[in-house]
Structure 1
Amino acid sequence: MPEDSELGSRILKVNHAGEHGAICIYTGQIIAARLTARDMVMELEEFKSHEKRHRYVFWSELQRRGRRRCRSYWLCALGGFVLGLATGLLGRKAIASTTVAVERVVLRHLEHQLELLRGKDEAAVLAISSIVEDERRHHDHSAEHLHGGKFWPKVLSPVIAASTEAVIWVGMRA
């Protein structure tokens, strides 16, 4: 049982860092979107507010367990901000492509985490379950912006997905 709790804590630490990274992505995108996609700023601010709540959910559970944040926390922040600013400067399709690519990876990981932890660490399951629907909505809503746009999804998706996977991999080992 302690092994399961340890796995749950590691997952929560990585998720917490990932949510911080997502906040920083949206922060960078909001700054740039004020120049390139003004009509998306409110949506990005809404998504950012969801990510702040998600970060709080994971942080609260980590504090309850007496755990510190992941060592990759600031890596996620810096990488997220740079990614958000760069894709924000490329415009609405690049912004939407980024969210779709990140959320696709995140959703796959969240589902896998739930499978691993069900019946073993119910507090972690509860925390993870509480954010899944928001992440799915971010993905689906952003995918709607991509109709007719094939360039940015084709160019950005593989790079962003691989980067997201790499950050998660590093976080699980940090």
Structure 2
Amino acid sequence: MSTPLGDRILKVDHAGEHGAVNLYRAQILVSRWTASQMTPLLRHFLDHELGHRALFRDRLQARGVRRCRSYLLCGAGGWMLGLLTGLLGPSAIAATTCAVESVVLQHLMEQRQQLGSTDPDAFDAVSRIVAEEQEHHDHGRDAMRSGAFWPSILTPVVRVSTAAVIWLGMRL
């Protein structure tokens, strides 16, 4: 028996938010030394991601659905990416935020289209986080320095990695 689409979407989004929480926690940990001016903004983003993760967790619990099998993978991947990019400094942090959120926003728009009127609860949960994810993306985009070294290297790698984790999560 296959899992209903709304359940799969909520599971994957919950796992993704866990990855985002760990990404920001790791960046905050090291940004105090490498990009201290970004730490307050990263804390603000972390607060958003903690709320998003709780939203999806609560929806899964209400449905009696277990979390995604990719939950721990997303958490570990987010932590490692956050540590690495935090160590590389402000342009790497900004590039990572912009790259991750560009994929996430595209994914959320596709999810909303797929859910339409078939699962109003899942549609509502996905819709509730879009504005904050857009805010993260826009801050990342605006904080990238023109001509900086890291964005051109990190952006494609982070986009492909994020898309791959989402793809895998939808199939686990």
Name the residue aligned to 1:94.
Answer: 92
Counterparts of 1:51-70 in structure 2 under 5 Å? Answer: 51-70=49-68
Q: Secondary structure at the match of 1:111?
A: helix
Name the residue aligned to 2:82.
Answer: 84
- For 1:144 and 1:162, how far apart are their aligned partners in 2? 21
- For 2:125 and 2:69, how far apart are their aligned partners in 1? 20
Cα deviations across residues 43-77 of structure 1 (Å, max 9, x unaligned)?
00110010000001111111111001001000001
Q: Which runs of 5+ in 1 are unaligned?
A: none
Tell me if the contact between 1:29 and 1:44 (Cα under 8 Å) persists in the aligned partners.
yes
Counterparts of 1:1-174 in structure 2 under 5 Å? Answer: 6-174=4-172
Cα deviations across residues 74-98 of structure 1 (Å, max 9, x unaligned)?
0001110000000000000000000
Give the drift of 1:153.
1.6
- What's the TM-score, normalizing by structure 2? 0.97
Q: Which runs of 5+ in 2 are unaligned?
A: none
Moved over 6 A (4+): none
- What's the TM-score, normalizing by structure 1? 0.96
Tell me if the contact between 1:93 and 1:149 (Cα under 8 Å) persists in the aligned partners.
no
Tell me if the contact between 2:31 and 2:39 (Cα under 8 Å) persists in the aligned partners.
yes
More off after superposition, 55-64 vs 140-149: 140-149
CA RMSD of aligned residues (A): 1.3
- For 1:86 and 1:32, how far apart are their aligned partners in 2? 9
